[in-house]
Amino acid sequence: MNNDPTLGQRIHQRDILTSVPAGFNTAEAQQLLEFCIELNNQDDRNNAHKKADPNVYAKATEWKIFYDSRHPGNHEWNKSWPYNPIDDRLKDPNNPDSNGFGPLNNAWILVQSLKDPTVFAIAIRGTVGEWHSILADAYATSIPAYAGIEYPLNSALPVTFAATPKAELHLGFSYASLALLFEDDLGILTQLHHLKYNHKISKLLITGHSQGAAIATLIHSFLYYALTDPNDRYGLKNSLNPDKLKSYVFAQPKPGNLQFAQDFARITKENAYVINNDRDPVPQVPLSLETIAEVTQYIAEDNNKIKIGSWLNHVTESISHTTNSFRDKLAELFSDKMADKFKYANIERNIKSYFPASDEKPYVALADSLNYTLAGQLVPVFGLEQGGDLYPIGSSADSLLQHHASSYRLLISQQLVRQ
């Protein structure tokens, strides 16, 4: 047995290099992280005490903002827009607490490559410091990955995020995805249709940091199924080869359960990467709550006609009944509350367009598990205690030191071998 005390410490040395998978492009990942900094550090750039810090500014070379939901028509990075607070009918485009849209205050940008104008990227904003945005994190129970979103109340939308049986999603992130995708004017589907008719799209990259990382993962899965839908419900089928979807997400909280992660691995292959810092607390949530019933459910099914299986079925069914009863009540409560909030969302025109009244609507199904896990191919970076001399914590406590997008920027530059 090797008792070398330095063995476990080497992983945190400054000269550590992580070999990245074949399909991972470090330069590409670094640029996508800059798009996240544009969205997530807007409040810092408007803060008198932080605006002098160069780390809060996006350094997105060779890309331009094509569409910005915070201020449609904006094409500039790190922009501070003129705003007249006297006219309270206008939302302040400089304030992340109010410049999002939908019930969960979401925001996103569409970015175009200057080197290859047929390459575009979608970046999703993470949590901001107001309760509508925080609500998307807090509603941490699961819903089915197919037809799990309840809209309107007591009616399920036949939206597909995964095809694997028992695949389930984080409820809050799912409804945030609904708003981002289907918002009538500012939403992703509306803007992708504009793009389809005016530009060739050879590749679409997807990114997000923190909450935005989990939502970006769901957006990736949704777009894959939209592009491969034989009925072409969303009118996107010929706009892009689904194999040309690629995502890099950072500090990803768990977006769904094990079966969703398996489905996502199947459809994305070498086109979805999760860059998580081992010292960052956010990728460890939501907590995975798994019962013995979930672990043994297929054992029981396989043995249900054999004598030895009868006692196993009895035990697992008893445990399942108790846990599912509590989870179902929680999921139903959260879903009803979210469906009620979405009565005031600006999504009605698109919902009616994509889901006409003549369509047969599936029943509202309940979820079976909370065995959350990350989704995508993990590419780890290893945080430094108190930030080392790379991103030192300073004299003030910082519970998110290891989570900041600017910390990820430095760790990626230091540790990931370029391809």
Instruction: Name the burial class of residue 363, with classes exposed (0-12), middle (13-18) and buried (19+) by CB atoms within 10 angstroms of its CB.
Output: exposed
CB neighbour burial string for 303-320, b if at least 16 within 10 angstroms, e if fewer: eeeeeebeeebeebeeeb
Query: How far is residue 94's CA from residue 100's CA, in Å, rounded to a whole number?
Result: 10
Give the helix, strand, coil percentages of the chain, each rounded to 5: 40, 15, 45
* pLDDT value of position 7: 42
* pLDDT value of position 141: 82
Residues 143/367, Cβ–Cβ less than 8 Å: yes
* pLDDT value of position 339: 82
* pLDDT value of position 95: 92
Q: Give residue 324's identity as a one-letter amino acid code.
A: N
Q: Is the pTM of this model over 0.85?
A: yes
Q: Which residues of the chain have pLDDT under 50?
A: 1, 4-10, 12, 14, 309
Strand 203-209 to 245-250 pairing: parallel
Dihedral angle computed from the Cα positions of residues 162, 164, 170 and 173, in that order, rounded to the nearest 10 degrees? -10
Domains, in order of start, for the chain: 14-289+338-415 (3.40.50.1820)
* pLDDT value of position 11: 52
Query: How far is residue 371's CA from residue 228's CA, in Å, rounded to a whole number?
Result: 28
Residue 3 is given by DSSP the state: -
